[in-house]
Chains A and B, each alone.
Chain A
Amino acid sequence: MSDSVALADVIAVACAEAWRGDGEIFASGMGVMQMLGARVARATFEPDLMISDGEAFYVSGDLPIGGTQKLVEGWIPFRSVFDTLAGGRRHVMMGASQIDRYGNSNIANIGPWAKPKSQLLGVRGGPGNTVNNATSFFIPKHQTSVFVASVDMVSGVGYDRAKKVGGFIAKRHDLRRVVTNLAVLDFNSPDNSMQLVSLHPGVSIDDVVSNTGFELVIPSTVPISRPPTAAESAAIETIDPKGLRHREIPA
């Protein structure tokens, strides 16, 4: 791989890959890199995805991040988002302030819930998202304070808890992948605990392990995260002409 490929571009493609094979569903990205990934996927290998402007409209064409020239193809107010996710026709990529080995995630608060050290957003739609539709994560800083043994508040349901609930939720529970500044991970191990999928260029297995606060499943061979194709590079430039993606990655 050429040194000229920026890390943010490798990550954008790794995020886009989360939606491969999803077809005609709502690809929802909560954050700049997540939105970029969804839009790059649609612009290249997954053309039937539905993309929103993050407000209330489905948009056609390659809408740049923050762009206002919208080609509206549908209406998706919050109530329709709830309907769509409960119907399972959505794959959301969120952020997380904490995540554990089974994918239990936290955007709500740090420290005890009754009196948090730091109050964050609250659980938002995380509980409903993670038991109803496919969920992936982009976490810009892979470190032990984020990849923790146990999260302080379960705003997103992980595999161990989904199995405990059983029934429909256990059967349909679908956490897809976790993209970080170091690597791509998923939950396709035998017990659905987090496993390493690929390493970004220049990152070692030790780098990932030492920045993870629980035991990861490490396959015998771990490939390097792929660079963008020419078409993906062009899409990245069209969708993020200002280079906002580079600010998402810690120096």
Chain B
Amino acid sequence: MSDPRNKIITEDQAVATLRSGMTLGIGGWGSRRKPMSLVRSLLRSDITDLTVVSYGGPDVGLLCAAGKVKKLIYAFVSLDSIPLEPHFRLARQNATIPEPTEWDEGMLQWALFAGSLRLPFLPTRAGLGSGVMDVNPSLKTVKSPYADGEELLAVPAIRLDAAFVHMNRSDARGNAQYLGPDVYFDDLFLSACEPGRRFVSAEKIIPTEDLLKEGTFHTLKINRSMVDGVIHAPNGAHFTTCEPDYGRDEAFQKAYVDAARDPEAWKAFSDRFLAGDEANYQSQVVAWREEIKAAKEAAK
């Protein structure tokens, strides 16, 4: 009898399988349950010219700031509690993203769903009549072959070369679990991705027999046939939410936004938090919290 695939790897091992020019899908939504430890690893790599598909948050902001994005397929980029993402704004205002591709939120879902079903497109009304049609001249419409004859937008399928998502729990084989209120579109990101580079990071790696201890079977939207690599990443979504394990680190998110306003402040932030590995990031976050606490005590 042969052994099952061993999928436990590190962020850096996952990123080492990527190549410049690939299409990468990133799960989560805004500043919610983003696979940030994988994104941070990608920032440390020399991979560039990426096509990134995301319901964008700080993942997109950081990749734009690092100059790694050639094409960005997005409907928004937001930090939720802070509506505008500073790095994304700068990148757009300085026109440093070579191919910004702005779609309706539902179009992204449809493109990933079409990709996961291996269909060339899926029809929708979302986008018709809007500026999305003006700024994406390559989008085409399709006429219903039935009696209604309606002209619909044909959202082209997206097939991903690589996908990153962050989950609350996973077993070592990639049966992964979300325990928060929403899976977002994480299952679609994995399903729309070519096998080989479908990566799930998780707060905890647990035995398969424990998967139903913290949530019902409804939380098991991601099974091991959708996953190639599993990364143990405690606090891996920081500073975004990872309910119910932790909420958004609002103070740190604000510090991130403040630093992004000024190139020197951003360099200091980046040198401190992003230049080192994930262990360094996590220990610097702990140290930063202590400093903030001490400063508050001193101010009393």
Segment at the interface with B among A77-85, A184-192, A233-241: A77-85
CB-defined contacts of B125 to chain A, threshold 8 Å: 86, 128, 131-132, 168-169
Q: Select A123's contact among B29, B92, B129, B130, beta carbons within 8 Å.
A: B130
Pick the interface stretch among B3-11, B37-45, B176-184, B261-269.
B176-184
B-chain residues with CB within 8 Å of residue A128 when the two chains form the complex? 104-107, 124-127
**A115 near B: Cβ within 8 Å?**
yes
Query: In this assembly, does B74 line the interface, its C-beta being within 8 Å of a C-beta of chain A?
Result: yes
Q: Per a CB cutoff under 8 Å, which of A85, A116, A122, A162 touches B93?
A: A116
B177 CB to closest chain A CB (Å) equals 15
Contacts of B84 in A (CB 8 A): 119-121
Which residues in window 60-113 of A have CB below 8 A to B?
75, 77-79, 82, 85-86, 106, 108-109, 113
> In whole angstroms, how far apart are the Cα atoms of A120 and B76 in the complex?
9
Q: Is B131 in contact with A154, judged by CB distance below 8 angstroms?
A: yes
Is B78 close to A, CB under 8 A?
yes
Alpha-carbon gap, A21 to B131, bound state (A): 31
Query: Are B127 and A127 in contact, with the CB atoms below 8 A?
Result: yes
Q: Is there a chain B Cβ closer than 8 Å to A210's Cβ? A: no
Residues of chain A within 8 A of B103, CB atoms compared: 123
Q: Chain B interface residue count: which class?
A: 35 or more
B206 to chain A, nearest CB (A): 23
**B residues 57-105 with Cβ under 8 Å of A?**
74-78, 83-84, 88-89, 92-95, 102-105
Q: A82-B106, A127-B104 are in contact. Are A115 and B129 (CB under 8 A)?
A: no
Give Cα A77–Cα B243 distance, bound, in whole angstroms. Answer: 14
What does the 1/0 interface line of A122-163 toward B look like (CB < 8 Å)?
111111101110000000000000000000011111000110
Scoring A56, A156, A162 by chain B CB atoms within 10 A of each residue's CB, the highest score goes to A56
B151 at the binding interface (Cβ < 8 Å): yes
Q: Is the CB of B29 within 8 A of A78?
A: yes
- Confirm or deny: A165 has a beta carbon within 8 angstroms of a beta carbon on chain B: yes
Interface of A is mostly: mixed
| Residues of the A chain whose Cβ atoms lie less than 8 Å from the Cβ of B148 | 167-168
Q: Does B185 contact A (CB under 8 A)?
A: yes
Given that A79-B109, A131-B128 are contacting pairs, would A126 and B93 also be in contact in the complex, using a CB cutoff of 8 Å?
no
Residues of B contacting A204 in the complex (Cβ-Cβ under 8 angstroms): none
Residue B135 at the chain A interface, CB threshold 8 Å: yes
Asked if A114 is an interface residue, CB under 8 A from chain B, the answer is yes
Contact: B185 with A78, CB < 8 Å?
Answer: yes
Task: Name the distance in Å between B155's Cβ and chain A's nearest Cβ.
Answer: 11
- Interface status of A57 (Cβ within 8 A of chain B): yes
- Give the Cβ gap from A80 to chain B, nearest Cβ, in Å: 9
Q: How far is the CB of B202 from chain A (nearest CB, A)?
A: 20
Name the contact of A121 in the complex, choosing from B78, B126, B183 (C-beta under 8 A): B78
Q: Would you give the shortest CB distance from B236 to chain A, in whole angstroms?
A: 21
Partner of B183, one of A77, A108, A109, A156: A77
Q: Does B132 contact A (CB under 8 A)?
A: yes
Contact with A along B179-212 (1 / 0, CB 8 A): 0011111000000000000000000000000000
A-B contact pairs, 24 of them (CB 8 A): A77-B181, A78-B182, A79-B185, A82-B105, A86-B126, A108-B102, A113-B102, A114-B95, A117-B93, A119-B92, A122-B75, A123-B130, A124-B75, A124-B104, A125-B106, A125-B126, A127-B127, A127-B128, A127-B130, A131-B130, A161-B130, A164-B129, A165-B151, A169-B125
Taking Cβ atoms with an 8 Å cutoff, the residues of A that contact B are 55-57, 75, 77-79, 82, 85-86, 106, 108-109, 113-128, 130-132, 153-157, 161-162, 164-169
Q: A121-B76, A161-B129 are in contact. List 14 more A-B contacts (CB 8 A).
A: A78-B185, A108-B102, A122-B76, A123-B102, A123-B131, A126-B104, A127-B107, A130-B130, A154-B131, A156-B130, A157-B129, A161-B130, A166-B151, A167-B148
